[in-house]
Amino acid sequence: MTGMRPTEIRVSEIFGPTIQGEGALIGLPTVFVRTGGCDYRCSWCDSLHAVDSEYRDQWQAMTVEEVWSEVTRLSGGLPVMVSLSGGNPAIQPLGDLIARGHREGYRFALETQGSVARDWFAELDMLVLSPKPPSSGMETDWEAFDACLRMAQGKPQTVIKIVVFDEADYAYARAAAARHPQLPIYLQPGNHTPPHPDDDDAPIDIEGVMERMRWLVDRVIADKWFKAHVLPQLHVLIWGNRRGV
């Protein structure tokens, strides 16, 4: 990955169309552009193959046209939602890719923890800010998070999405929602058995995930937190830990 040009995008994988498995766009047919590299190291990361430098030899330095050629090949040239994910896609130069796709009627959603603000956030169709709760082992820089909102300029549909494993994470989610009451919030029960980058067939604890789902639903209802959306990771329930779906 040495010698990358400033306009090249570090790509871990491009796949789809498949359905978006979580958050505000759950169930929507989507092509995924997963970038390589991240400024976080969450304890339960479910995309380590796009995060850890151990896997950087599997990432490709691609031009906008190379990425776009693959997106249009996968979609058959028909406009579809494109999800920019990672890792942290905000560390990649994605502005030209978004402009390229918009010219052909494609839409773009980006999910980031809100640690890096970019001016091209304002060109997105959806911005998913997913700050990481205490169970991740990471600390949230709320000034950086707020800078991401400023860069978006109120143009894309913007939501908060938070993974919840336990009471500490739930309290964190309540506090995040209170900081930004104008933003819809989506809660997702955590998966204690995230995929291993080298094992697509690694088993997951479905019953454990659903137990946390039931607990989270009960907790939200008991607190009368009626603005919260509680959703599972649909792709995990359907395909388990397989990559590329």
State the pLDDT at residue 100.
98
State the pLDDT at residue 194.
57
Domain-located, residue 180: yes
Domain-located, residue 244: no
Domain-located, residue 145: yes
Domain-located, residue 209: yes
Domain-located, residue 4: no
> What gap in Å lies between CA 162 and CA 176, rounded to an integer?
9
> Token digits for 229?
């959306």
Nearest-Å Rg of the Cα atoms of the chain is 17
Task: Kindly tell me the number of DSSP H helices and DSSP E strands found in the chain.
Answer: 6, 9
> What gap in Å lies between CA 46 and CA 111, rounded to an integer?
14
Domain containing 134 equals 9-239
State the pLDDT at residue 244.
63
Dump pLDDT digits (tens) for 7-41. 899 999 999 999 999 999 999 999 999 999 999 99
How many structural domains are present in the chain?
Answer: 1
Name the one residue in this structure whose structure tokens are 């309290």.
171
Give me the residues of the chain with pLDDT under 70, please: 1-4, 193-202, 241-245
Beta carbons of 6 and 93 less than 8 angstroms apart = yes
State the pLDDT at residue 205.
83
State the pLDDT at residue 202.
67
State the pLDDT at residue 53.
80
Domain-located, residue 129: yes
Domain-located, residue 132: yes
State the pLDDT at residue 195.
56
Residue 26, classified by CB atoms within 10 Å of its CB into exposed (0-12), middle (13-18) or buried (19+), is: middle
Domain-located, residue 194: yes
CATH number for position 58? 3.20.20.70
